[in-house]
A and B are shown apart, each in its own frame.
Chain A
Amino acid sequence: MKFALKILIVGGLLVGCAPEKSSQETSQESTPSTSVNVYTHRHYESDQQLFERFEEVTGIEVNVINASADELINRMELEGEASPADVLITVDAGRLHRAKEKGLLQVADSEILEANVPAKFRDPEKHWFGITYRARIIAYSLDRVDPTTITTYETLTEPQWANKVLIRSSSNIYNQSLLASIIASQGTSQAKSWASGVKENMAREPKGNDRDQVKAVAAGLGDVAVLNTYYIGKLLDSDDQEEVGAGESIGIIFPNQEGRGTHVNISGVAMAKYAPNPENALKFIEFLSSDEAQMVFAETNFEYPVKPGVAWAPLLTSWGEFNTDTLNLALLGKHNKEAVMIFDEVGWK
């Protein structure tokens, strides 16, 4: 009797878990046209707000799974034609390129998208579209560094910066993309000597995240750091006064303004090859490129909106306009593996 009771309890627990599943299934199967399934690497609070807004405006329910782009692509690959994914969102162009190469994406034909997203931020074959872009910039200590002495990423390899450069690990996709952009513009051997030069000048073994590099500059462990723009915004916006102080102790430089331009990468979106709800997927992607969505990205997350004419966050405006690298972003994906191998060879952990 007691045993039966236990089984009942266990069964009850299982059923308790189940509604999540069944509600999702019914929404997916019986009424396929009222939802869109999103696999996304972005998990910002602002995105969640946008998804809710999209539901409000269109009545289309947004179902979300968050995980790293690598894992999501892997899952889509395994799922094949049975994949429920309609839309894939990543935080770099390289991963979108990879998904395209693996045949996981389809063409999204839309005049709205072509009008909203400048050509340099989208795939020429319409497989993916940028929604925001970020610049990988050089931050320097306001106390110790004369900013006119740094003009390019290549400056960081000069002997005067020995033991002064802070940058995170080579497993980080933003560093991989930066090196891939150097491979694309200057060739493998130049890229290798750049990576090795930076490695030689590092103030410490690479560790931590982008914010930690700024903190290390503030702490005096090094003088210059390489990081993405929006992290500075987040530091300055922090609830912790010490973090704000660290953010205020640095200045920033947009490198390579005279030459190829500052390295930028996109956070981008694509329609899945086997999308069960392609019309909704297209609406969703178009929505992300709309003024309303672009403004949210710009205001809450300190990212640059891709759509021209959408106002930047005041902080970004204060830094001013800059020349972005005009490189075709697909090349970042193409050279990604080579970049990682170079990092290994020069011992950049």
Chain B
Amino acid sequence: MSFTIRLRRPLNIWVLLAVLIVLLLGTPIYTVLFGLLPGPGPNWSHMVKYLLADYVVNSILLVVGTGLLTLLWGVPSAWFVSTLEFRGRRFWEWILILPLSIPTYIMAFTYAGIFDYTGPLQSIIRNSTGLNLASYLDIMNLPGVMVVMSLALFPYVYVICRAAFLTRYRSLIEASQVLGASSSRSFFKVILPVARPALVAGVTLVVMEVLNDYGAVKYFGVPTFTTGIFRSWFSYEDPQGAIYLSSLLLLFVFLAILFEKYQRGGARYDSQVPVERPLPRKKPSGWMSPVVVCSCAIPAVLGFIVPVLQLIWWSIQSFDSIGYSKLGSMVSNSFLLACAAAAFCVGIAVILIFATRLRNSRWLQSAVRLSTMGYAVPGAVIAVGVLIPLLFLDKLWIHLMSGWNIQVGLLLTGTVFGLLFAYSVRFLAVAFNPIESGFQRVGKSLHEVAATLGVKPWRILHRINIPLLRGALLSAGLLVFIDVLKELPLTLILRPFNFNTLATRAFELATDELVAAAAVPSLVIILTGVVPIHLLNILITKQKWL
């Protein structure tokens, strides 16, 4: 008991900092959640009567369908590339991460383009056989969105599972194999039950991405909850209704996460023993070989190779009609913004997690957890939540200055700083999860030893945690980097004047129905994303992740 007291005394500065961050970062989320209090607004009954059922059913089906498909694409492939040796393993291992660099809306536009009447598939069939398959090859429907989204999002599951198989569950895998279990037996009987946190972590990210998507579902004509939010906000001119729907969505996600935690109970899945030797890989048996190759090749080809080939084809087609002069500034804007956001998110996540370690209080933990919920809220809604506090500060500043008779403009709103703040709100979850599990893996013992020796928290963080967490920090940063590169709604609405990123340009061209012209910036996004993804891959294979 005296031990805990000792630990607590000098730590208030960290807790204070964490509380400050939670308050600041949480403002947009609390703004949204407070929308529940005044009730749903005047159009609620209309919405319930005509639309809500459709939205709820579609959203649930979409979440479940996409979630299951990402498991199908992500888990077996992760298992095979981590435990077996087969032809092309290294290649597939790498390609399987790359769909991460393709924004969902670009994936949707690309696949719609491939399958539509004037697209390559139908054109080739029609021109060679005269058959018109238009009514059979329509992918613009609910199952179509599920497949397209799952192809863009399965790497979240793949990356996390693969990292887990390579590191945390290695000793279990080895033990089961030493005891004579076959690959499939050790997967189904040993690993699948314990890998639940990894699966849940991956699928949670997928679900949140699915829930905040607007571009793909709108284009494919599948109305979801997000559609309702925008309809209420802009078509009914009822922002209250939009915020009410957003907060319902948020509440739903929060409850789902809590339920999972509760159901998991106090069970711990982490093996504390770091294993340094490489896992011995077996060759798949005869009939397994094609299964193994297909499980890796199908998601990799459909998720990356096919869409990239289509984008390359469009780029060639529209090569002459594109203004390249601005491409350089777009690349540098995108790159710098993504780097800065990654640094922000990682820094904030470290402070928050470290503070919850120092003070093990339930309310702090819940507050911290809540401030990572921005990931599930549609970007446009977060944008409003972000504008409100920023403008409040700006107006305060203008008011103060006018007291001195000084005329000033907006200081925060419409600046890179405002944008970074918004990204932090939105992508904290992405940095938070790997860093949190990194902290869990490091364990508390070193920290406690240092604390009993009277080492100050700052030095503990600096000398013990950060060096041990280097891999996790870098992985978290890279994930945020890739996400910001693809980010759209926040960038569109909060960016400064004359500020274009690759994503905003690709989107503008695509919404002007110039999909072919959008291919060039899209390809550059993908190329820019491939480098950090490659780094991420090295981190995972060297087992510095999680």
Contact = CB atoms under 8 A, between A and B. Distances in A.
A183 to B, nearest CB: 14
B403 interface: no
A67 B218 contact: no
B221 A24 contact: no
Interface in A15-37: 16-18, 20-21, 24-25, 28-29, 37
A243 to B, nearest CB: 5
Interface string B408-427: 11100111110010000000
Interface of B: 46-47, 50-51, 54, 112, 116-119, 122-123, 132, 134-135, 138, 140-141, 218-221, 223, 227, 230-231, 233-237, 239, 317-318, 321, 323, 333, 336-337, 339-340, 343, 347, 380, 383-384, 387-388, 391, 394-395, 398, 407-410, 413-417, 420, 462, 466, 492-493, 495-499, 504, 508, 511-514, 516
Contact of A82 (B384, B398, B511): B398
Contact of A239 (B317, B380, B394): B317
Across the A-B interface, the 10 shortest Cβ-Cβ residue pairs: A207-B221, A219-B134, A63-B497, A242-B118, A219-B117, A43-B508, A70-B234, A340-B235, A344-B50, A10-B343
A24 B498 contact: yes
Given A17-B336, A64-B497, A71-B380, A169 B132 contact: no
A98 B50 contact: no
Given A65-B414, A78-B384, A82-B395, 16 more contacts: A3-B466, A17-B336, A25-B409, A43-B508, A44-B512, A64-B498, A67-B492, A67-B493, A74-B384, A79-B413, A169-B218, A208-B140, A209-B219, A216-B134, A220-B132, A349-B221
Contacts of A45: 323
A329 interface: no
Contact of A212 (B116, B317, B384): B116
B323 to A, nearest CB: 6
B221 A82 contact: no
A231 interface: yes
Nearest to A216: B117
Given A206-B221, A340-B235, A221 B134 contact: yes
30 contacts: A3-B466, A17-B420, A20-B499, A24-B496, A24-B497, A25-B409, A37-B497, A63-B498, A65-B495, A71-B383, A78-B384, A78-B387, A78-B391, A79-B413, A80-B391, A82-B398, A82-B409, A82-B413, A84-B410, A176-B235, A207-B141, A215-B118, A220-B134, A234-B513, A234-B514, A240-B516, A245-B118, A340-B231, A341-B46, A347-B50
A29 B408 contact: yes
A43 B409 contact: no
Given A29-B408, A63-B498, A20 B416 contact: yes
Contacts of B407: 29
A13 to B, nearest CB: 5
A60 to B, nearest CB: 14
Interface of A: 3, 10, 13-14, 16-18, 20-21, 24-25, 28-29, 37, 43-45, 48, 63-68, 70-72, 74-75, 78-80, 82, 84, 98, 169, 171, 176, 204-212, 215-216, 218-221, 231, 234, 238-240, 242-243, 245-246, 276, 336-337, 340-341, 344-345, 347, 349
Given A20-B416, A171-B218, A208-B140, A70 B233 contact: yes
Contacts of A238: 516
B492 A20 contact: no
A171 B231 contact: yes
Interface centre among B116, B117, B119, B138 (most CB of A within 10 A): B117
B513 A211 contact: yes
A82 B394 contact: yes
A337 B132 contact: no
Contacts of B415: 21, 25
Contacts of B51: 344
B340 A17 contact: yes
Contacts of B493: 67, 71-72, 75
A13 B340 contact: yes
Contact of B219 (A21, A66, A68, A207): A207
A11 B138 CA distance: 50
A132 B513 CA distance: 19
A328 to B, nearest CB: 20
Given A64-B497, A245-B118, A337 B233 contact: no
A84 B394 CA distance: 12
Nearest to B390: A78
A16 B339 CA distance: 10
Contacts of A169: 218, 221
Contacts of A18: 416
B513 A231 contact: yes
Contacts of A63: 497-498
A349 B231 CA distance: 11
Contact of A65 (B220, B417, B497): B497
A28 B394 CA distance: 16
Contacts of B132: 219-220
B456 to A, nearest CB: 15
A13 B336 CA distance: 6
Contacts of B495: 65
A211 B443 CA distance: 57
Contacts of A10: 340, 343, 347
B216 to A, nearest CB: 11
Interface centre among A17, A68, A349 (most CB of B within 10 A): A17
Contacts of B504: 66
Nearest to A209: B513
B221 A221 contact: no
A171 B384 contact: no
A345 B118 CA distance: 34
A84 B123 contact: no
Contacts of B119: 242
A43 B136 CA distance: 35
Given A20-B499, A78-B391, A221-B135, A340 B236 contact: yes
Contacts of A206: 221
B513 to A, nearest CB: 5
Contacts of B233: 70, 74
Contacts of B223: 349
A344 B231 CA distance: 10
Given A21-B417, A207-B220, A240 B118 contact: yes
B54 to A, nearest CB: 8
A246 B117 contact: yes
Contacts of B492: 66-68, 71
A134 B201 CA distance: 49
A218 B50 contact: no
B384 A84 contact: no
A231 B514 CA distance: 10
